[in-house]
Amino acid sequence: MDDDPTTRKLVQAVLSKHGYEVLLAPTGQDGVDTFISHRPDLVLMDVQMPGMNGFDACALIRQLDGHATPIIMLTGSEDLESIESAFTAGATDFITKPINFPLLAQRVRYALRSSELNRELRGVRQRQAAAQRIAGLGFWVWTADYNQLEWSDDAGTLLGGEPPTTLADLLTTVHPGDRNRVGQAFLAVRESGGKLDVEFRLHDDAPVGERIITMTGERAEEDDPLQPARVFGAFQNVTDSRRTQAMVDYLAFHDELTGLANRRLFVSQIRDFLATPEAGHLGLMVSWIDLARFARVNEALGESSGDALLAQVAQRLKSASAGSVGLARVGGDEFGLALRCRNESEAEDKLQRVVQALDQAFTVNDQEVFVSVCAGWSLSLEHGQEAEALLNQARDAQQQARLQGYKTLKASKNQNATRHLGSLDVEMELRKALQNNQFVLHYQPQMALRGNRIVGVESLLRWQHPVRGMVPPVQFIPLLEDMGLIQEVGAWVLREACRQATEWANAGMPLRVAVNLSPRQFMGTELFGLIQSAVEAHQTPAHLVELEITESLAMQDPDRAIELLTQLRAAGYKVAIDDFGIGHSSLEYLLRFPIDTIKIDRAFVMRVTETETDRAVIRAITAIAQSLQLTTVSEGVETQRQCDFMEALGASEIQGYFISRPLPEAALKAFVQNFKYAPGG
Ligand code: C2E
Ligand code: CA
Ligand code: CA
């Protein structure tokens, strides 16, 4: 609003250039009308205008909309009086004339931003107040030394009558049967700190009737010993939830951590649905969803992070499966989901979407975490109308899915009660695999770029199943971990790798042999002894044994990791950090951990020919590695081009299909003996 047409035009030009939409008004009255009809986000107005002046227009707008819209007034410079009047009329800010145009847009942006923040804050406060009211929640402070109790405003309504001002006062409102306990609890926090947590009834003839209150609180830790001891806390009217026993029922049927239904409730939800007429023509899909890598997250980041992750998974499942018949936590890291589905393809689509939602990264403790999801499902129209049976079939299908490397898998057709043994079979088979000599190691060669010779191999575990054929480790190592068998199998891997290393060395082909360690092996106390005895049994030169650990593993307990790694290296073994670059990668660890080798993850290598940032990351890693005299192995090199790039970026060794796939022992030996690297050939 400005009566001067030149100012109007200039302001419009400047602000439009910054992307604002500007409405112009030549008088105060026009300005107020425009405000009413358009509700702009911000008002900029001159003080001096014929007719209704700026102060009056400002005051009028304030009457209309409280203090929501920022108003900036244009005043003469150094005209303190009109600046004063502008604020009195309700202006948010002022700008002096002549207008400093470069600053104008900035001031406008600032005013808009702070009004936005104010609005949000008001919203938060309102929601908070509403939540407190609904929850019957209030606050209190007890200054113990002066025996003085103070309450938030709503205390009167919640407790009935005037809020008590001393502890004794409070106790008179408490039911005589609870009085002593409440008094003791207060005295205990006053004396020895800690937490207060009491629940009590108000006395029988309290004006608000029968009522149950909980008070929780904590003594404030004062730095200043002269400060009186104070206890802060909240109180809540929990009459309704206690009286109806809703809470008790809730806990019996829900999982405490995620708030989801538990297995019992889930099964009864399925049963209830199947009993409805709707279920006759509409099918139900029941799925069993398992987080394969969860145990590792738990071990690497600690239990409370594991809990946080589970809660987030539950949250994501909830939003990805709106309108479901049931969603439950049916096991530690296992979830059940029941969805209405007309047919198989609809079921498949819906489950696919849920699984995809879980494939996105989670953020736990400021760290990106991925879970690997594997789900099995059954369909009421095909697998029967029995709730328990549907769930069991879904679970069996999930275990099959994991073994066969599928993300999702439908339960097989003619399932019956004996089908259940199928999954147990797998566990049984895995348990026996060791005795039955079904495990073998394959070896993938690693070529040094200097000299182009094979200098080492990584041993990779395979399960040679009589029926299924060669099973890759991603499909059964998580199972071994879950079943607690990884220690035993890991020990076998160590012995076998040492035996092989010695055999090659004795045949005049000394190769460094790398062994992967799983989290459980690494955390166990017997690891060092295990390695020593494997090496001693086969007289393996220690420098030929390399141990691959992942960063997340080392991070879990860095001090312990450093101690163990130091011990291993002192004994002459090599230590490699596996999959470097994907986990918690921090170059800081390179400096802190005593290691020999960094294995640059395949993900980086895959992108090295395409993206500059990945090249920059690799360059940074190799530069530091060089200065620390560490070996860098590029994993998963598949093409000549990737190999050239990695060489140019300073990697020292190459591993990947470009050199060779992992090979059985005999083939590996022949490969190494005949190996001739012919770049470009
Ligand atoms: P990893 O340690 O990262 O092993 C490298 C994986 O990448 C191997 O898969 C290997 O076959 C594959 N690979 C190698 N070169 C290429 C390539 O050029 N392209 C592609 N696409 N892939 C390549 P594998 O053998 O299936 O092993 C998978 C994971 O299983 C290993 O990942 C390791 O974490 C684990 N693992 C294998 N053996 C053992 C073992 O004895 N103990 C433990 N604890 N874990 C093992
Ligand atoms: Ca490895
Ligand atoms: Ca790796």
pLDDT digits (tens, 9 = 90+) for 228-263: 778 888 888 887 766 555 445 555 677 777 778 888
Same domain, 16 and 64: yes
Q: How far is CA 644 from CA 408, 641, 651, 652, in A?
A: 38, 5, 10, 12
Query: For atom 46 of ligand 1, which residue has the closest CA?
Result: 516
Max mean pLDDT among 308-312, 559-563, 572-576 falls in: 572-576
Instruction: Output the pLDDT for position 418.
Output: 32
Query: For atom 17 of ligand 1, which residue has the closest CA?
Result: 636
- Cβ(255)–Cβ(328) below 8 Å: yes
Among the three residues 132, 147, 179, which one is the final residue of a domain in this structure?
132
Same domain, 277 and 376: yes
With a 6 Å cutoff on the Cβ, whether 636 touches ligand 1 is yes
Q: Cα(277) to centroid of ligand 2, in Å?
A: 54
Q: Which residue has the tokens 């009109």?
A: 82
Index of the ligand 1 atom closest to the CA of residue 441: 41
Index of the ligand 1 atom closest to the CA of residue 473: 30
With a 6 Å cutoff on the Cβ, whether 606 touches ligand 1 is no
With a 6 Å cutoff on the Cβ, whether 460 touches ligand 1 is yes
Query: Does residue 606 lie within any of the structural domains?
Result: no
pLDDT digit string (tens) for 338-356?
999 988 889 999 999 999 9
User: H helices within 443-550, ranges in order?
Assistant: 473-483, 486-506, 519-523, 527-538
How far apart are alpha carbons 656 and 594 in whole angstroms?
A: 26
Whole-number mean pLDDT of the chain? 85
Query: For atom 27 of ligand 1, which residue has the closest CA?
Result: 473
Confidence of residue 586 (pLDDT cuts 50, 70, 90): low
Smallest-distance ligand from the CA of 477 = 1
Instruction: Output the pLDDT for position 590.
Output: 62
Same domain, 231 and 272: no
Query: Does residue 178 lie within any of the structural domains?
Result: yes
Q: Cα(490) to centroid of ligand 2, in Å?
A: 13
pTM: 0.48
Same domain, 451 and 473: yes
pLDDT digit string (tens) for 85-142?
888 888 888 888 888 888 888 889 888 888 888 877 777 777 777 777 777 788 899 9
Number of domains in the chain: 4
Query: For atom 20 of ligand 1, which residue has the closest CA?
Result: 636
Among the three residues 132, 164, 199, which one is the final residue of a domain in this structure?
132
With a 6 Å cutoff on the Cβ, whether 657 touches ligand 1 is yes
Single-letter residue type at 499: R
Query: Does residue 404 lie within any of the structural domains?
Result: yes
Instruction: Output the pLDDT for position 666.
Output: 95
Range of the domain at 112: 5-132
Burial class (CB in 10 A: 0-12, 13-18, 19+), 328: buried
With a 6 Å cutoff on the Cβ, whether 481 touches ligand 1 is no
Query: For atom 33 of ligand 1, which residue has the closest CA?
Result: 516
Query: For atom 11 of ligand 1, which residue has the closest CA?
Result: 662
pLDDT digit string (tens) for 21-39?
999 999 999 999 999 999 9
Same domain, 524 and 668: yes
Among the three residues 244, 267, 295, which one is the final residue of a domain in this structure?
244
Instruction: Output the pLDDT for position 57.
Output: 94
Index of the ligand 1 atom closest to the CA of residue 517: 44
With a 6 Å cutoff on the Cβ, whether 444 touches ligand 1 is yes
Residue 420 reports pLDDT greater than 60: no
How far apart are alpha carbons 275 and 177 in whole angstroms?
A: 48
Query: For atom 44 of ligand 1, which residue has the closest CA?
Result: 518
Index of the ligand 1 atom closest to the CA of residue 490: 42
Same domain, 404 and 494: no
Q: How far is CA 176 from CA 142, 173, 203, 238, 348, in A?
A: 21, 9, 7, 19, 61
